[in-house]
Every structure is written in structure tokens, then in C-alpha cells.
């Protein structure tokens, strides 16, 4: 299956408008954002666990990245409430489940094999730092090579100068409304801006976004930079 698989194309999706698609495991459904492959695929999805649902033990040969959006996600490492950022490196295995139900952002097979750090960051208990312009606050989550992942909070009326991302940019709007010269993106929006694409972001009402840069296009090279 190929869905938004051309990483050189800009994509904007209002994820709340997408249908839920059943996974191979009862009680676990997905909203597909991008996918290149079959059941084992390079993929980005919003995943929903019904209360009491669980996945059998499985291995992630090319890694898994998770942001818990709602509820409590659990696996062999413990319980991870909303706001937790997880990275399971290539070769790791787990048996995930959710007692009360949860909703996740999940990225599969997009991790450099040399990036071996396993993470579980409780963003509700992690400090924020001032951003590059007044009105921005940043909570760094992870970096490897050119790849960088963070939460960014925009105060109402904040604007950032026009710029480009040599290794691309991916955004999920968690709260409020994010904007740039191309449009307005309310909570639930997913954006993928290809490598080198320019924009001039701002937020008139304020927002919080999850943002990942430096990871496009395709697979990272041996030094952790985009190939």
C-alpha cells in the first residue's frame, strides 16, 4: 500500500476527518496518514486502543516512535499517560495494551539503526525553555544526527521569520491553531513539509505543536543525516 509515500510532496491532513481502519488486532484501529508497504510498512498513523485491548508481543526491526495523545498506553516498560513521548529503537520488542483506552501518534520504521536510545519522556513533568523568538517555548524530546523532535508552545500573536528546513519538517497540532502563509491548521492537523520547503509560521490565537525536523526525505544516512 502506498499512501502519501512520496516524501517530496507537501501533505496536510485534518486527521479527525479520516475514517478509523481496523488493525489485525481486535479493539485497535488506525487513521492512516502515510504508508509505504503492507502490514509491515514505513507508516505514520493515529492509533486508537479500545479499553482492554492489547497487541501480542512483537518486534520493531526499524524502530517505533509514539506520542500518547489521550488515555494511558501500557507495555512491558510500564504505564504511559497522555503527554508521554516514547522511542523504541530498532530491534526492540514489547506487548502493548491499554486498560482504559488511549489514542496515539505512531511512527514506524523511520528510525536510524544507529539510534539506540530508548526513551519514555513524561512531557507533563519536563521543563520548557525559551524559543528563538519571544512568545515561543520549547520542550526538547530527542535529537540524533540532523533529526530533532520537540514540543513547541506558541503564545497568542507569536510569529517566526520565514525559513526552510533542509531535512524537512513534520508537525502535529495538539492544541489551538497553527498558521503559515499557506493556511490555518487547527488541533488534530498533520503537516509534512518536504526538505527545503520554506514557510513563515505564526499563531494568532496560540497553539502547541509536536514538531520533527531533519528526517526527510527517506532514510537517514550512516552519519544520521538525510540520504
pLDDT in tens, 22-32: 999 999 999 99
**Together in a domain, 33 and 111:** yes
Residues in the chain: 227
* Average pLDDT for 63-70: 97
**Is the pLDDT at 40 greater than 90, yes or no?**
no
**Together in a domain, 118 and 150:** no
pLDDT at 38: 85
Q: Is residue 223 part of a domain?
A: no
**Is the pLDDT at 124 greater than 50, yes or no?**
yes
**Together in a domain, 83 and 26:** yes
pLDDT at 39: 81
Question: Domain count of the chain?
Answer: 2
Q: Is residue 218 part of a domain?
A: no
Buried b (16+ CB within 10 A) or exposed e, 179-202: bbeeeebebbbbbbbbbebebebb
* Average pLDDT for 105-127: 94
**Together in a domain, 86 and 174:** no
What single-letter DSSP state applies at residue 39? S
**Together in a domain, 133 and 166:** yes
pLDDT at 221: 43
Report the CATH number that the domain containing residue 36 is assigned in CATH.
Answer: 2.60.120.10
Full-model pTM: 0.94
Portion of the chain with pLDDT greater than 90, in percent: 88
Q: Which of 87, 122, 157 is the last residue of a domain?
A: 122
pLDDT at 58: 87
Q: Is residue 183 part of a domain?
A: yes
User: Is residue 17 classed as helix, strand or coil in its secondary structure?
Assistant: helix
CB-based contacts of 69-75 (< 8 A; 24+ apart in sequence): 69/102, 69/103, 69/104, 69/105, 69/174, 70/102, 70/103, 71/98, 71/100, 71/101, 71/102, 71/103, 72/98, 72/99, 72/100, 72/102, 73/49, 73/98, 73/102, 73/104, 74/98, 74/99
**Together in a domain, 133 and 62:** no
Q: Is residue 220 part of a domain?
A: no
Domain of residue 72 covers 2-8+15-122
pLDDT at 41: 87
Q: Which of 64, 95, 122 is the last residue of a domain?
A: 122
**Together in a domain, 108 and 190:** no
Buried b (16+ CB within 10 A) or exposed e, 4-17: beebeeebebebee
Q: Which of 122, 151, 173 is the last residue of a domain?
A: 122
**Together in a domain, 81 and 144:** no
17 Cβ partners below 8 Å, 6+ apart? none
* Average pLDDT for 11-30: 96
Q: Is pLDDT larger for residue 87 or for residue 58?
A: 87
Q: Is residue 224 part of a domain?
A: no
**Is the pLDDT at 121 greater than 90, yes or no?**
yes
**Together in a domain, 99 and 154:** no
Amino acid at each position: 500500500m502506498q499512501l502519501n509515500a512520496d516524501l517530496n510532496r507537501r501533505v496536510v491532513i485534518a486527521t479527525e476527518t479520516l475514517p478509523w481502519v481496523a488493525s489485525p488486532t481486535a479493539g485497535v484501529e488506525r487513521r492512516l496518514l502515510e504508508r509505504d508497504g503492507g502490514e509491515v510498512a514505513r507508516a505514520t498513523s493515529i492509533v486508537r486502543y479500545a479499553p482492554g485491548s492489547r497487541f501480542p508481543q512483537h518486534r520493531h526491526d526499524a524502530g517505533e516512535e509514539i506520542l500518547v495523545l489521550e488515555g494511558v498506553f501500557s507495555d512491558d516498560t510500564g504505564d504511559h499517560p497522555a503527554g508521554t513521548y516514547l522511542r523504541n529503537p530498532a530491534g526492540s520488542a514489547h506487548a502493548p495494551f491499554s486498560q482504559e483506552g488511549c489514542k496515539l501518534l505512531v511512527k514506524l520504521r523511520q528510525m536510524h539503526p544507529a539510534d539506540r536510545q530508548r526513551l519514555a519522556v513524561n512531557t507533563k513533568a519536563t521543563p520548557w525553555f525559551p524559543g528563538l523568538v519571544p512568545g515561543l517555548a520549547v520542550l526538547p524530546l530527542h535529537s540524533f544526527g540532523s533529526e530533532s523532535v520537540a514540543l513547541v508552545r506558541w503564545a497568542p500573536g507569536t510569529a517566526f521569520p520565514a525559513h526552510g528546513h533542509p531535512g524537512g519538517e513534520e508537525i502535529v497540532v495538539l492544541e489551538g491553531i497553527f498558521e503559515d502563509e499557506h493556511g490555518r491548521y487547527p488541533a488534530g492537523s498533520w503537516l509534512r513539509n518536504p526538505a527545503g520547503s520554506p514557510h513563515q509560521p505564526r499563531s494568532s490565537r496560540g497553539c502547541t505543536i509536536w514538531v520533527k525536523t531533519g528526517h526527510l526525505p527517506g532514510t537517514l544516512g550512516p552519519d544520521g543525516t538525510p540520504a
